Structure 1
């Protein structure tokens, strides 16, 4: 192993350990000591790479957000339908990707949302993520609908994506049914597009 590779590997170890600890304890009860012990590393190593708990939490959320962005980009590449609707479907599928709906990631997201109410740094990350989803949906919807209608549908679709995810994450009994969630979100999209087409026909 090259010496230059060690920091990246250590950081990844600590981020993965943090996921594990949060899944069991939640963000509020997670400490640097717990993370260090789970990773099999010293507390000093955690402080060296992340400074404090806030720095560690920020890194964990940046990892989750990076996974989300990567999932959407991958869906875009895999989707042969390059139409505006096809791109919106890729965004929907990316938001329900396995990296976002596994139990560990869902626990992190739930804790992140709750903690963002009391942390300026986490709140900023949340705002960036919300804006990214809304602006991306609006961008493609404007290719299919008038601007004002596109913005309204984008808000509705973003709310449906978040709502389906939240209901699924709070269900302790069943695994998240991502196929069903994707179906519901796409059905809403198609209903809105069809309503607009019907409106044009009736004009």
Structure 2
């Protein structure tokens, strides 16, 4: 029987172990048993907290999305104008915090997994809609009716440049954030 008060601690430990296992393997071809061993708990206890591996993987992604959301909010607190808020979103999305090796591994695997899993696809869609919504909200005062198209361009650049930078295919000396910021400035200037 699990100890009272240990559930949040063990859940967090299992989520962190899942992230670590995915990073080590480079895929989601990890077992609940491997994850439980990394977390220092029994396989049975892991199943007690998570019905199956899919639930645990989704919790790992929610954990990373929550970290991302906290980073965005922290940067937004420093911003006062729509333009500053857009820069904050770009920098939070493409900041060094998002490029920890474990974070990269889980994001890349999650993009692929979302093609096969309805639940993973739904979670990825929530991230995409929030990003687009935040961009549109801050673009509207600056460019009005064009805000939807520009937000889509910015979101596509953020996701695409994240993948390119994560895979090391962004040319040396190029900053992913600066490329998106340049696009933003050109769109505002039109």
Question: TM-score over 0.5 for the alignment?
Answer: yes
Q: Which residue of 2 aligns with 1:107?
A: 105
| 1:182 aligns with one of 155, 177, 180 | 177
Shift of 1:83: 0.7
Partner residue in 1 for 2:129: 131
1:162 maps to which of 159, 163, 169: 159
In structure 1, how many angstroms separate the alpha carbons of the residues matched to 2:48 and 2:59? Answer: 13
Within-5 A mapping of 1:29-178: 29-79=29-79, 82-147=80-145, 149-171=146-168
Which consecutive residues of structure 2, in runs of 5 or more, have no partner in the other structure? none
- Answer with 1 or 2: which has the greater Rg: 1
Q: Is the 8 A contact 1:157 1:188 kept in 2?
A: yes
Is residue 168–residue 177 contact of structure 1 (8 Å, CA) maintained in 2?
no
| TM-score after normalising by structure 2 | 0.92
- What is the distance in 1 between the residues matched to 2:28 and 2:14? 17
5+ residue gaps, structure 1, are 196-203
Residues 36, 46 of structure 1: 8 Å contact kept:
yes
- The farther-off stretch of 133-142 and 5-14 is 5-14
> Taking structure 1 as reference, are residues 114 and 62 closer, same or farther at Cα in structure 2, changes over 3 Å only?
same
Aligned residues: 188
CA distance in 2 between partners of 1:178 and 1:140 (Å): 29
TM-score, reference length from structure 1: 0.86
The alignment's C-alpha RMSD in Å is 2.0
Tell me, in whole angstroms, the C-alpha distance in 2 between the residues paired with 1:176 and 1:70. Answer: 29
Give the drift of 1:72: 0.3
CA distance in structure 1 between the aligned counterparts of 2:173 and 2:56, rounded to whole angstroms: 29
Task: Quote the offset at 1:51 in angstroms.
Answer: 1.2
Q: Distance in 2 between matches of 1:179 and 1:66?
A: 28
What's 1:17 paired with? 17
Q: Identify which range, 89-98 or 134-143, moves more after superposition.
A: 89-98
